[in-house]
Amino acid sequence: MEAVHEHDHSHDHPSGIMRWVKTTNHKDIGTMYLWFSFAMFMVGGVMALILRAELFQPGLQVVEPEFFNQMTTLHGLIMVFGAIMPAFVGFANWQIPMMIGAPDMAFPRLNNWSFWLLPPAATLLVLSMFVPGGAAGVGWTMYAPLTVQQGMGMDLLIFAVHILGMSSILGSINIITTILNMRAPGMTMMKMPLFVWTWLITAYLLVAAMPVLAGAVTMTLTDRHFGTNFFNAAGGGDPVLFQHIFWFFGHPEVYIIAIPAFGVVSQVIPAFSRKPLFGYASMVYATASIAILSFLVWAHHMYTVGMPVEAQLYYMFATMLIAVPTGVKVFNWVATMWRGSLTFETPMLFALGFLFLFTIGGFTGLVLSLTPVDVQLHDTYYVVAHFHYVMVAGALFSAFAGVYFWLPKWIGKMYDETLGKWHFWLSIIFFNVTFFVQHFLGLAGMPRRIPDYSLQFTDFNMISSIGAFGFGLSQLLFLYILIKAIRSGEKAPEKPWEGADTLEWTHLPTPAPYHSFETPPTVK
């Protein structure tokens, strides 16, 4: 009786809204993560455009400074926690079970819960704009003691961060358990596709880093309301303590975003080079090294707080060291392409865009690692340019590459290749128009997070704003391409990509059935 019930349950297809609310299917949950991420990408994008509209010209034209600060804060938080991270969790949900030959995630109900924590958190963030005092205007870094001066928008933000953190931790536990326990026979650790490896490492980073952030914002909350003085010097606390705690989370967070992006690119480049990934083992070791190092370099975000010079030297050397494993990864990707048989469909274009621009972001990271230079560039637009090369051209382009790459497997239909190429070229051109010039603004000394600037910065800001609107509008094309593919895309061939060789391409039909690998495949 029990067995029969179980059987019925696992093949139950509820329809309508309840299918999505109650689903425990990794594919449904992956889809929800990805659409949620795209919606947040649009919300955060509109906020970025409000910022760039204000910065189009010197003077205050569009918004008040308070609102400007609220937009910088929400743009950062929504893009990091609402758009980029859920996008890669979406990929993890769809791909990890299929790539390791598992029927689903290890904890399907927990999986459902991890996703459904996100919409309330996003709602809190967006709602905070409409409470008395508006949203918090403190930047996504939430430095004390400015946070103490904020209205209740700050409290909503803190609760949103708590919920987002819970979602990430639960999702990570699920991913770790799935990867460690549910691999098909013969799928040894060192045979796992690199995307799975990168997610295993990322999930450990999340489990280690997110509670630290929760601690930081909880201390902020008690400083605000319950009379504690963690970050208040008058009560024996230290404002800089917040920065240490925040960046102990914050630097691994950078790699939480970047490492799954490495994983996607490490699947796409070999597929379109028709060659196996070069240096698979060294890729795994490099990723693990980056993850470990990421916990040892946090104070390079704090070179101007006045640390002892010995500490600055340590953080400088440790940070420079990250260039080594990162370099290994870049060299491996180039070596994968070397003497391959390359074709340039949209996923490959985005992967190459990633490779080119992420490397530039890595170069500027090297410049910033040097403490004496960073003291000049810290909190200027140079830093803004640097991390957008890593976050947008790095993580976002990699996510685009992943969507175009796996969409045929997910929905059984092809996207419009011509439009996909348009999306790539518009994105990469407007991205550079927006962010390349910000390097010059930073070098010349324009601080970040200012709503108005002196006349010397006018020209580059104007160019950057034009680029930003171009980039934003180009993403509507992406939405159109997705809708077109879903509604009227050509039927995808069983194996649309000649060079793709992971289990989802070799052992499953296209589109992948709702339940896949109910009996595990045997991996040789």
Helix or strand holding residue 230 (H, E): none
Token output for 74:
């929400």
> What is the DSSP secondary-structure string of 308-326?
-HHHHHHHHHHHHHTHHHH
Give the separation between CA 512 and CA 519, rounded to whole angstroms.
15
Catalytic-role residue among 114, 266, 346, 359: 266
CB nearer other proteins, residue 123 or residue 304 = 304
Catalytic residue at 273? Answer: no
CB nearer other proteins, residue 59 or residue 186 = 59
CB nearer other proteins, residue 131 or residue 429 = 429
Residue 460, C-beta contacts closer than 8 angstroms, at least 6 positions apart: 437, 438, 440, 441
Catalytic residue at 113? Answer: no
Catalytic residue at 104? Answer: yes
Compute the least distance from the CB of residue 352 to other proteins, in Å: 7
Closest CA to 262 of 281, 244, 238, 286: 286
Whole-Å CA distances, 322 to 251, 295, 310, 486: 12, 11, 19, 41
In degrees and rounded to multiples of 5, residue 206 shows phi and psi of -65, -45
Compute the least distance from the CB of residue 298 to other proteins, in Å: 16
Catalytic residue at 172? Answer: no
Catalytic-role residue among 167, 319, 359, 369: 167
CB nearer other proteins, residue 97 or residue 270 = 270
CB of 23 within 8 A of CB of 112? yes
Compute the least distance from the CB of residue 282 to other proteins, in Å: 5
Catalytic residue at 140? Answer: yes
Catalytic residue at 417? Answer: no
Compute the least distance from the CB of residue 2 to other proteins, in Å: 48
Catalytic-role residue among 52, 183, 275, 300: 300
Is residue 511 reached through a cis peptide bond, with omega within 30 degrees of 0 on the bond before it? yes
Catalytic residue at 329? Answer: yes
* Count of other CB atoms within 10 angstroms of residue 523: 17
Compute the least distance from the CB of residue 418 to other proteins, in Å: 17
Catalytic-role residue among 26, 27, 52, 75: 75
Rg (CA), the chain: 23
Catalytic-role residue among 72, 168, 510, 516: 168
- State the first-to-last Cα distance of the chain, in angstroms, to the nearest integer: 37
Catalytic residue at 415? Answer: no
Compute the least distance from the CB of residue 245 to other proteins, in Å: 15
Catalytic residue at 382? Answer: no
Catalytic-role residue among 26, 27, 251, 423: 251
Compute the least distance from the CB of residue 458 to other proteins, in Å: 8
CB nearer other proteins, residue 456 or residue 506 = 456
CB nearer other proteins, residue 292 or residue 367 = 367
Give the separation between CA 309 and CA 331, rounded to whole angstroms.
34
Catalytic residue at 498? Answer: no
User: Where would I find the H helices in 128-238?
Assistant: 152-181, 194-225
CB nearer other proteins, residue 213 or residue 377 = 377
Catalytic residue at 303? Answer: no
> What is the DSSP secondary-structure string of 194-223?
HHHHHHHHHHHHHHHHHHHHHHHHHHHHHH
Catalytic residue at 222? Answer: no
Catalytic-role residue among 155, 223, 253, 504: 253
Residues marked active site are found at: 75, 104, 140, 167-168, 251, 253, 255, 266, 300-301, 326, 329, 448
